[in-house]
Structure 1
């Protein structure tokens, strides 16, 4: 009798495990993009090179969920950035530098913990020219507003509300984990996103304490701001944008403002505005047009872009893009994202390439 009961228990456990597996899913996904690029002026000379991640960042990821019953799910995401042109990691010290998260979702919303981008990127960034027009060069000089998703929040906790009539709210905090100061290395972000039919709107806020200047440092070194700090005391960003689809046109407008506080030097602000349009003029062809204006104190940058995308399929695209920037005011050097500083106030970059999703 005991053997019979034990056998029944084993069968029940096996059935339970099988059921749980049937209600679980794991997806492997990614993006690879490489193109031949020409930059008119980098430090006084033109450059021809193979660029990666122009239309979308090169990455590989794992995403999964499990139905726990009662409307509750567990989920995870792991995502690593890499460079198609060299095969190297984007960040040698972090394998899953883009996402490493686990969480729970239910009728009251979701809670996510781990390493992830801030809400400025997640909500407002998707209305930027860099994202909507699928061109990495169009993110703003220095990427101070983090729209290019190069600065994730570590040790973060995020809450996202249920979506009600297209409206969603989110808030998150990245713990600094410093015993001597609760504010040191701490990151905060919040925002709201509205998506209903052809209309999308977003408003988002982010504050990062003691953030490394990183890529921004190369841009700031071209300006006379009184201090070439490698670490900011704080970086605060506000962003708001709107997108609308009408017929074969997708239109977007975005404004961001980033304020930097630096050690032993006066702070400064960067203001950016985007206007973009994507016209699908044939089933497989899309024309992208964009204009951006960036201002850092008295330094000004005007950027114009054009691109054409041919879709072989839903996953494979051939593209040709070009971007031109003109610096003005106190800015004597043009500096487009990912290209490096020009030797004068003008810079052109053109790329022809292939993008594949999997």
Structure 2
């Protein structure tokens, strides 16, 4: 029972399932919460927040068996904001200049890929998750910053989760989302700039992930690097592990975001190491996610922040859940991180001050 709850918590977005199939499936999630965020010295805000427990998405996936052990599959996945009914932006070249803004129309910004595989492994082509995304997702009880989890990003937000124009290879034992046994993932992606120009390498991405996973424990480490004209090179390193302990799924996560030159907007820092201790504590028909995170930055003030987040998710069914979360973050020196992440982060506090917040919401997957 506990293992099933953990699997549902960590991979709720699978919705209709990712098992082998010869048909096309529509899947998605809709999640909205009432949230109240406060930043010390800057006020508070009460608003409707999309994706408090599960990022909102709608997609289509399918698989065909080709015979002889070969298969092909595809996935098209679009993110959207259900509080406004608008789609989210994408990126076409892994650079700041590549923002695709459609005025709120749907884009397949989350995933857009086709794959072919067999006993030798699997090749994927298109827009997909970078290798360093997976430890951040799997070993964070709040799943890469959904709701109140997550860690700060230094230097780039263009390829910290996904890359466009990518080619990826996965060793045998990996399905569209999960890997088992000894596994590895390699990715390269292209900025698609003309050769012979100063910007020809901008947007190029290279990444590697290696790990070992069983149904009861797993561990992995990954790194992704992106050429970037502004910061020279953005490097994201992440790793960690998780183990089923009967009463909970225990997790540890650590990593670093690094830039090749100081970033003025980030107080001239170049490195942001972080670590997190987390757990999904089983509680009846639901679970309690809890995480303690520390992130630092090598700016002139040696700034750092700590964050405590916890909540409760109650599963009304396999597809529908109610949830609530509270979080508090203590910033020191030049850091001014808000309590949440993304467009709905709420008021950022004054540098060196605290932020806090809570939400109550409902999530449904299909």
Q: What TM-score bracket applies, with the shorter chain setting the length?
A: 0.7 to 0.9
Residue 305 of structure 1: aligned partner:
309
CA distance in 1, matches of 2:296, 2:257: 10
Structure showing the higher helix proportion among its residues: 1
CA distance in 1, matches of 2:243, 2:263: 44
The 8 Å contact of residues 148 and 309 in structure 2, kept in 1 or not, is answered as: no
1:342 aligns with 2:349: yes
1:105 aligns with 2:123: no
| Gap regions ≥5 residues in structure 2 | 1-20, 90-100, 174-178
1:242 aligns with 2:241: yes
Cα offsets for 1:217-253 (capped at 9, x unmatched): xxxxxxxxxxxxxx43221011110001111211100
1:317 aligns with 2:284: no
Structure with more relative contact order (C-alpha pairs < 8 Å, separation 6 or more) = 2
Residue 138 of structure 1: aligned partner:
149
Aligned residues between the structures: 313
Residue 277 of structure 1: aligned partner:
279
SS at match of 1:122: helix
Which deviates further from its counterpart, 175-184 or 231-240? Answer: 175-184
| Gap regions ≥5 residues in structure 1 | 1-22, 212-230
Residue 54 of structure 1: aligned partner:
52
Alpha-carbon RMSD across the aligned residues, in angstroms, is 2.4
Tell me by how many angstroms 1:295 deviates. Answer: 0.5
The 8 Å contact of residues 251 and 278 in structure 1, kept in 2 or not, is answered as: yes
The 8 Å contact of residues 145 and 237 in structure 1, kept in 2 or not, is answered as: no
Tell me by how many angstroms 1:124 deviates. Answer: 4.3
Tell me by how many angstroms 1:281 deviates. Answer: 2.1
Match of 2:69 among 57, 66, 71: 71
Tell me by how many angstroms 1:152 deviates. Answer: 2.0
TM-score (normalizing by structure 1)? 0.81
Which is greater in Rg?
A: 1
The 8 Å contact of residues 101 and 116 in structure 1, kept in 2 or not, is answered as: yes
Tell me by how many angstroms 1:193 deviates. Answer: 2.8
The 8 Å contact of residues 291 and 305 in structure 1, kept in 2 or not, is answered as: yes
The 8 Å contact of residues 263 and 269 in structure 2, kept in 1 or not, is answered as: no
CA distance in 2, matches of 1:46, 1:75: 46
TM-score (normalizing by structure 2)? 0.79
Runs of 4+ residues deviating >4 angstroms: 143-146, 148-151, 263-267
Residue 182 of structure 2: aligned partner:
167
